[in-house]
């Protein structure tokens, strides 16, 4: 779990130099980049996870407006009769996360979108399914009533998407390159939102389900393995010393580097000892100084957000 606070990041960066572009070799969730993408800053965003890169293209780099009215009429249909479950590739998810009707729609939406001629429009349609899965899973876990019918929630989120992308004119470039193959770009600031190896929360679970849906996998374990494999050199461990070589290599062309994460259940002193010390050591050859700032989120459970800036 990570709370990326863009204004905090820019404030910290501005203490040293003006920032006109930012480079994220990895971003943890597309919508967290909304605030930055509306600033007069060039954003270079990379996600080695193709389903997440697609979501960012559809929501953060969408300058042509929302989903067209004609496509809405054509593709947001009501399924009148239940579909044959045997044909549904996601049938093993029944009663685990979704009911029969929801599975019918997950199948229909994925297949129907192939008929959308314009690729950008297709990506908008698919990207909205991420929000819908999130809505269904969250309510299913809480045992709360799902009030919107599938076609209504699809229309709701297509409308939300339209509002989200309105007035967007920022300079954003999105790539989907494996981290090991990604080159270090020359940038004023590189940002690393950190992920912890042993942490699985509702967002990572959602990304696993969505990645499986996006690729048409029935097997969620395969999706989990895929994601872990893609991020294997990026995940941080508390148990064993982490390898920071990927981070240091990617930061080679940047004037400053920012590492940010959300801590839980441990006081800042432990983080300083276990994590920040090794980070400082790893980056010491590239940067002369560093500054740690942190904010309290909930002092009763030692939840703090951290921002560690390296600069010359």
Binding site for another protein (CB under 8 A): 1-7, 29, 31-35, 38, 131, 134-136, 138-139, 141-148, 156, 160, 164, 166-167, 201-203, 262, 294-300, 303-305
Taking the least distance from each CB to another protein, the nearer of 21 and 160 is 160
Taking the least distance from each CB to another protein, the nearer of 38 and 120 is 38
Q: How far apart are CA 291 and CA 308, in angstroms?
A: 6
Taking the least distance from each CB to another protein, the nearer of 8 and 244 is 8
Q: How far apart are CA 274 and CA 13, in angstroms?
A: 24
Taking the least distance from each CB to another protein, the nearer of 162 and 222 is 162
**Minimum CB distance to another protein, residue 168 (Å):** 10
Taking the least distance from each CB to another protein, the nearer of 304 and 310 is 304
Taking the least distance from each CB to another protein, the nearer of 2 and 254 is 2
- Please list, in sequence order, all residues whose beta carbon lies within 8 angstroms of the beta carbon of residue 134, skipping any fewer than 6 positions away: 206
**Minimum CB distance to another protein, residue 6 (Å):** 7
Burial degree of 60 (CB within 10 A; 0-12, 13-18, 19+):
buried
Taking the least distance from each CB to another protein, the nearer of 162 and 290 is 162
Q: How far apart are CA 230 and CA 261, in angstroms?
A: 20
**Minimum CB distance to another protein, residue 286 (Å):** 28
Q: State the CB neighbour count (10 A cutoff) for residue 284.
A: 13
Q: How far apart are CA 232 and CA 234, in angstroms?
A: 6
Taking the least distance from each CB to another protein, the nearer of 41 and 251 is 41
Q: State the CB neighbour count (10 A cutoff) for residue 303.
A: 17
**Minimum CB distance to another protein, residue 13 (Å):** 16
**Minimum CB distance to another protein, residue 180 (Å):** 28
**Minimum CB distance to another protein, residue 213 (Å):** 17
Q: State the CB neighbour count (10 A cutoff) for residue 167.
A: 7
**Minimum CB distance to another protein, residue 128 (Å):** 11
**Minimum CB distance to another protein, residue 241 (Å):** 27
């Amino acid at each position: 779990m990570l709370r990326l606070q863009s204004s905090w990041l820019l404030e910290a960066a501005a203490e040293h130099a003006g920032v006109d572009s930012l480079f994220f070799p990895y971003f943890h969730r597309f919508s967290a980049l909304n605030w930055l993408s509306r600033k007069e800053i060039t954003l270079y965003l990379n996600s080695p996870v193709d389903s997440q890169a697609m979501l960012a293209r559809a929501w953060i780099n969408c300058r042509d407006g929302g989903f067209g009215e004609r496509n809405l009429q054509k593709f947001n249909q009501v399924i009148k009769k239940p579909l044959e479950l045997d044909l549904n590739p996601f049938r093993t998810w029944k009663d685990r996360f979704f009911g029969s009707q929801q599975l019918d729609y997950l199948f229909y939406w994925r297949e129907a979108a192939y008929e959308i001629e314009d690729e950008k429009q297709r990506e908008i349609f698919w990207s909205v399914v991420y929000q819908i899965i999130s809505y269904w899973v969250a309510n299913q876990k809480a045992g709360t009533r799902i009030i919107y019918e599938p076609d209504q929630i699809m229309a709701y989120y297509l409308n939300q998407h339209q509002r989200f992308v309105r007035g967007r004119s920022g300079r954003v470039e999105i790539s989907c390159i494996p981290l090991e193959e990604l080159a270090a770009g020359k940038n004023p600031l590189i940002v690393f939102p950190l992920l912890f190896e042993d942490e699985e929360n509702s967002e990572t679970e959602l990304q696993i389900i969505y990645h499986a849906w996006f690729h048409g996998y029935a097997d969620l374990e395969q999706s989990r393995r895929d994601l872990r494999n893609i991020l294997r050199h990026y995940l941080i461990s508390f148990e064993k010393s982490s390898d920071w070589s990927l981070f240091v290599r990617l930061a080679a062309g940047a004037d400053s580097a920012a590492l940010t994460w959300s801590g839980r259940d441990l006081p800042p002193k432990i983080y300083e000892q276990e994590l920040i010390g090794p980070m400082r050591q790893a980056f010491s050859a590239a940067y002369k100084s560093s500054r740690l700032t942190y904010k309290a989120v909930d002092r009763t459970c030692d939840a703090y957000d951290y921002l560690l800036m390296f600069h010359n």
